[in-house]
Amino acid sequence: MVSLVPATASYSRAQQIPTRLIPGTEESLPIIGLGNSRAFVSGDVETSTQLLNTFLDHGGAYVDVSGSSRVTVGKILAESGAQERSFLGNYLSGQNAAELRDEIRALQAVQGEGPLDLTMKRDVADLAKRADEFRALKEEGLARYVGIGRPHKRFYPAMMKLMDDDVVDFIQVNYSMLEPEAASEIIPMAMDRGVAVVINRPFINGAYFSIVKGHELPDWAAEFDCESWAQFSLKYILSNTGVNCVLTETTNPKHVVDNLGAGFGRLPDRKTRERMQVHLQSLT
């Protein structure tokens, strides 16, 4: 049986990772999440277990999964009894109401009984057409939340329409110093509508690290408790109070710890955010 290592003494520190409320609820999520790692996708149980162990034992909860990753992650969490410490964002592919229910029941057989935490879609137009089917999943106790996720600004108008029509509880969008557009309209609208915001592409699929590679972290990063270039980006994103959680994706447990470190300590203020943007632009 695959099992996660029991929480260590460091877990008491990890429990202090800030959380932010899911709007309209009394439920909170830690502000750093774990994206759909290549280890999950490939079914690498050993690496996936190490990642999940490190993530959960350092205070993480939100794990983004789709396709075969839902089974890989679900089995590891179920066999270790760690479901209560996790919050899974499951992407669904069912093409009609019956297929959705069958898909959810199959996932419950792997991940554990009870409603799925978050059911996600990538097809914005499809979710708009089938909004009633997804609302019914919540009404029937098969899912607790419904969300939409697309990593490109061209989808923002359609995602905003979903919020206007009260279809989604979560949106997942791209946002960072290199892709700041979400801050101008869609994140403020989510705050106004009471929709949780999850951020993807904090490192632009690695492009960010290509820019900062070989450069020293500026000394003034210590002013907001930043210890790495990864945290530099994550703390910038988290300083937007409309953001509930930032998803980070890696196959390296050490990177998981570093990423989670961005959840501790101070966050940059407005002037510092501007300074961060200028500094990053100077490196390009």
Alpha carbon distance 163, 160 (integer Å) = 5
User: Would you state the structure tokens that stand for residue 124, as one six-digit string?
Assistant: 């914005």
Alpha-carbon span 170 to 160, nearest angstrom: 11
Nearest-angstrom CA–CA distance, 255 and 248: 9
Per residue of the chain (284 residues), what is the pLDDT tens digit?
333 333 333 434 444 789 999 999 999 999 999 999 999 999 999 999 999 999 999 999 999 999 999 999 999 999 999 999 999 999 999 999 999 999 999 999 999 999 999 999 999 999 999 999 999 999 999 999 999 999 899 999 999 999 999 999 999 999 999 999 999 999 999 999 999 999 999 999 999 999 999 999 999 999 999 999 999 999 999 999 999 999 999 999 999 999 999 999 999 999 999 999 999 999 98
- 3-state SS of 215-251? CCCCHHHHHHCCCCHHHHHHHHHHCCCCCCEEEECCC
Q: Sketch the domain layout of the chain as residue ranges.
A: 18-283
CATH topology classification for 18-283: TIM Barrel (3.20.20)
In angstroms, the CA 276 to CA 234 distance is 12
The C-alpha angle with vertex 267 and arms to 37 and 212, in degrees rounded to 5, equals: 55
